[in-house]
A = this chain, B = another copy of it.
Amino acid sequence: MNNFTFYSPTEFVFGRGTEQQVGDMCLKYGAQRIMIVYGGGSIIKSGLLDKVSASLDAAGLPIIELKGVQPNPIDTKVYEGITLAKAFKPNLILAIGGGSVIDTAKAIAVGYYYEGDFWDFYIGKAKPQQAIPVGVVLTIPAAGSEGSGNTVITNTTTHVKAGLRQPMILRPKFAIMNPELTMTLPAWQTASGITDMMAHILERYLSNTTDVQIGDRLAEGMLMAIMETSEKLMANPNDYEARANIMWCGTIAHNDTCSLGRQEDWNSHAMEHEISAEYDVTHGAGLAVIFPAFLQYASEHNPHKVAQLAHRVLGIADSGNVKEDALKGALKLKEWLHNTLNMPVNFKQLGIENPDLELMNTRLHRLKGEIMQGYMPLDAQATMEIYRLAL
């Protein structure tokens, strides 16, 4: 087990009706002026925005709104938010939505204090020292950004989708999580979110750091809980209990609970970022296409963890042949994603008939270097093979 630091100070307020506490929570964390960030009209239509506004109003908190954050959030909205924030001077940014909204809020929160271009943080040119505190009212369980120190933004000029990880300053102060708010999510969005959280776990599980039994068992437990709960949820979208399990799973899938003390592998996420940056597909759906291909490649080149996953989570009997079992596991997961979640599992199903694999592969290695280190070292030939396996 490697040395690690774990600091997860977010206060999670979870359950029915909890959005009514948003005003009190903002006050508790010292807010005096609040910038609200959200996406499209769904929180207006559902009445959530009214409820939140009423609660903030009752708490006597002046607010300014930044709306129109889109899925696969983009730099231009961040610039707009920073400008707005510099004028309004909020001391808390409240994200109401899912990962895209929260990631945008975090980008504004660090960009606010920086003289240069906030994008510097995302390409490693500078390191943020402070951030405006962020609070969250979560409406989409998927990205886990409500509990993580991460944010991902797409640069609309370069088409680069890049992430920033700063747990010490970027974890939200509080996250209000009412599973009822997720009841009306379309099946497609629910399933994409579930795929995203499963990927977050697998990216921590696929590791060559040995002897992290606790991390392995927690990851396997989360995956089993997600799979059994997803089956209920896809059959009955109004199942509160299933919604609640999935919502909490999304948070702990990405708050490092199952990755502490070991190397992670985020190469499949990076490979998907190229797809969604170029073709603007839903992130989770892109992962459903890439991940099985990634596991299939791993079952040939570094099968041990994929085989363990197959045995412990996916119900594959141990045949003694590690590669064979790993491949069976990869195919089983692919089948499950398609049959249970109705996810696309290849480019065609994703709606991309002729993906420009060369373009994505070139951009990928331009951003990540010649050899992408991780569970398996991946050069351009290897990632191209994975992209091809996803055709």
Contacts and interface: CB of A to CB of B under 8 A. Distances in A.
Interface of A: 1-18, 179, 210-214, 216-218, 220-222, 224-225, 228-229, 241-242, 244-245, 248-249, 252, 257, 260-261
A80 to B, nearest CB: 32
Contact of A14 (B6, B210, B220, B229): B6
Nearest first, the 5 A-B pairs at minimum CB distance are: A3-B15, A221-B221, A217-B221, A211-B241, A9-B9
Which of A1, A4, A9, A229 gathers most chain B CB within 10 Å?
A: A1
Nearest to A249: B214
A14 B9 contact: no
Nearest to A178: B3
B1 A7 contact: no
B260 A248 contact: yes
A213 to B, nearest CB: 4
Contact of A221 (B218, B229, B244): B218
Given A12-B7, A217-B222, A210 B241 contact: yes
Contact of A245 (B16, B212, B221, B257): B212
A5 B1 contact: no
A12 B257 CA distance: 12
A241 B216 CA distance: 14
13 contacts: A3-B14, A3-B18, A5-B12, A9-B9, A210-B241, A214-B221, A214-B225, A214-B249, A214-B252, A216-B225, A217-B221, A220-B221, A257-B257
Copies in the complex: 2
Contact of A214 (B3, B15, B222): B222
Contacts of A11: 5-7
B1 A244 contact: yes
Given A213-B225, A214-B222, A225-B214, A6 B1 contact: no
A248 B214 contact: yes
A261 B18 CA distance: 14
A216 B241 CA distance: 14
Contact of A248 (B15, B241, B252, B261): B261
Contacts of A217: 221-222, 224-225
Contacts of A211: 241-242, 244-245
A305 to B, nearest CB: 16
Contact of A4 (B15, B218, B220): B15
A112 to B, nearest CB: 23
A275 to B, nearest CB: 29
A242 B228 CA distance: 31
B5 A214 contact: no
Given A211-B245, A214-B225, A14 B4 contact: yes
A224 B261 CA distance: 18
Contacts of A257: 252, 257
Contacts of A179: 1
A384 B92 CA distance: 55
A81 to B, nearest CB: 27
